[in-house]
Structure 1
Amino acid sequence: MSCKGIALVTGAAQGIGRAIALRLADNGFDVAVNDIAVSAELQSLVEEIQQRGRASSIHAADVSQDAQVREMIEAVVQNHGGLDVMVANAGVVGPSGMVIADVTVEEWDRVMNINARGTFLSYKYAGLQMVKQGRGGRIIGASSLTGKQGHNAQVTYSASKFAVRGLTQAAAIEFGSHGITVNAYAPGVIETPMFFGLLPGPEMRDGLKAQIPLKTFGVPTDIADFVSFIASKESKFITGQTISINGGLFFD
């Protein structure tokens, strides 16, 4: 199987990021993976990608730090020869149930630095590399249901995910003339370790599931399915969009 290009997925150690990395490998991409630190989960992911016949490498970096993101992109290019798909998936969620009056500046900065600034830096350095290469590319970010509809007691997370939508639209305009599309996904309730940490009890989960028209939660491969398409040549006329993947919990 010939290589369709080189992809980088941030926040890839588990959950949605891991599913995306494996799907892109299945699609024929060599896949570089990132998380805040090297871990057994990240190492096993690289092994799984390599078992699929694709090259892979680990790039530990804090996506909120300018120099670390720039150096990460440079290392991916040095290891693999370029960059064609950037998936800025890394993110954190603030404490559930914290209302505006209780949010500290430190907590606001922590969430915004990773979710908003981290996505900005990933877009920036990936976009610069793709422009330099002159062969187009795909930049894909992670928004959220709460980035389309503000939720009570999730002020920092919601604000950061709204920021991703605005960034995605602006970047799509800026990079469009270079054949680079910029889109984002907005998951609803997806069964990930982060989700189970927020809703630990079955009663809370059942109550939320009842609100979803499809009466089920999503799984990470539901997001990977979207990324698989948006990273492909067939998506060449789609840019600046943030696509809801939420089982009907919220309609645009």
Structure 2
Amino acid sequence: MDEQQRHTALVTGAGRGIGRAIALALAGAGFDVIVNDLPGSDDLAETVDLVRLQGRKAVALGLDVADLAAHDGFVDRAWSAFGGIDCLVNNAGVSVAKRDDILSVTPESFDRLISINLRGPFFLTQAVAKRMVAEPVDDLRTIITISSANVDFASVDRAEYCLSKAPLAMMSQLYAARLAAHGVNTYEVRPGVIRTNMTAIARERYDRAFAEGLAPIARWGEPEDIGQAVAMLASGALPYSTGETLRVDGGLAVRRL
């Protein structure tokens, strides 16, 4: 990456876990980073410090991505922080409050997941994309959305999570078709089983599954695995690809006989 050029990334849900790992990987790739999490997050300050330790600038901005009315003001602040946004990473998301059978899913749980995991990223991407189109640059820009292996794999004990994540694959393709002419490539990164607070509840289950051959690469994925993938895409390693999915799942989706 040319250090003489401006490279700035906005990462949602960057307080910890995958989001923090993405922010640090982008910093390592030469990006200044705007890190986001819920307003009042106690974790963002540490992410900012870690980015700065890599010699890059960092700013923390609070936002609940489900709060659509706050998007325009948030994007204004993010855009102004370093004079633009070259990469948006849609990472913020939640899992179900309680794993339960699909026959027990409530409208309240369904609406919560759709609001945060799908509706929020769609409209935040729209707001950032409008600014990118209105203020073009010569360099490639990227929009990278973190989805889930549940785009491919049905989990009937968290059906609403699957339904909130699967449409992100199409969202990425739609924005790819719309934005390519404006020098913006979009990608979907599809993690497998990643070691985070979200998956800690199922640790023993996945430990057994990996031991029994769940994936060809027989280990948990780490947040840093996702961070490395995002940094590669954001750095322009695949300039003639857009709308593509990068699975970071240890081969989980490989069909085997």
Contact 1:87 1:141 in 2 (8 A): yes
Contact 2:65 2:124 in 1 (8 A): yes
Partner of 2:210: 209
Moved over 4 A (4+): 1-4
Q: Distance in 1 between matches of 2:155 and 2:198?
A: 17
TM-score (norm 1): 0.94
Residue 93 (structure 1) aligned with residue 102 (structure 2): no
- C-alpha distance after superposition, 1:179-206 (max 9, x if no partner): 101111111111111111x315x3x232
Contact 2:102 2:156 in 1 (8 A): no
Q: CA deviation at 1:2?
A: 4.4
Q: CA deviation at 1:69?
A: 2.1
Change (3 A) 1:3 1:199: farther
Q: CA deviation at 1:151?
A: 2.2
Q: Distance in 2 between matches of 1:225 and 1:212?
A: 20
- C-alpha distance after superposition, 1:99-126 (max 9, x if no partner): 2221111100000100001110221111
Partner of 1:152: 156
Partner of 1:230: 233
Q: What is the aligned length?
A: 249
- Structure 2: any 5+ residue segments left out of the alignment? none
Q: Distance in 2 between matches of 1:182 and 1:72?
A: 21
SS at 2:15 equivalent:
coil
Q: Pick the structure with more helix per residue.
A: 1
2:31 equivalent among 16, 29, 32: 29
Contact 1:126 1:139 in 2 (8 A): no
TM-score (norm 2): 0.92
Partner of 1:41: 43
Q: Distance in 1 between matches of 2:67 and 2:207?
A: 39
The one-letter amino acid paired with 2:112 is: R
Partner of 1:241: 244
Contact 2:186 2:242 in 1 (8 A): yes
The one-letter amino acid paired with 2:15 is: A
Matched ranges for 1:84-233 at <5 A? 84-95=86-97, 97-135=99-137, 136-196=140-200, 198-200=201-203, 202=204, 204-210=205-211, 211-233=214-236
The one-letter amino acid paired with 1:183 is: Y
RMSD over aligned CA atoms reads: 1.5
SS at 2:153 equivalent:
coil
Contact 1:188 1:218 in 2 (8 A): yes
Q: CA deviation at 1:173?
A: 0.3
Contact 1:32 1:76 in 2 (8 A): yes
SS at 2:237 equivalent:
helix
- Structure 1: any 5+ residue segments left out of the alignment? none
Q: Distance in 1 between matches of 2:5 and 2:112?
A: 37
Contact 1:29 1:54 in 2 (8 A): yes
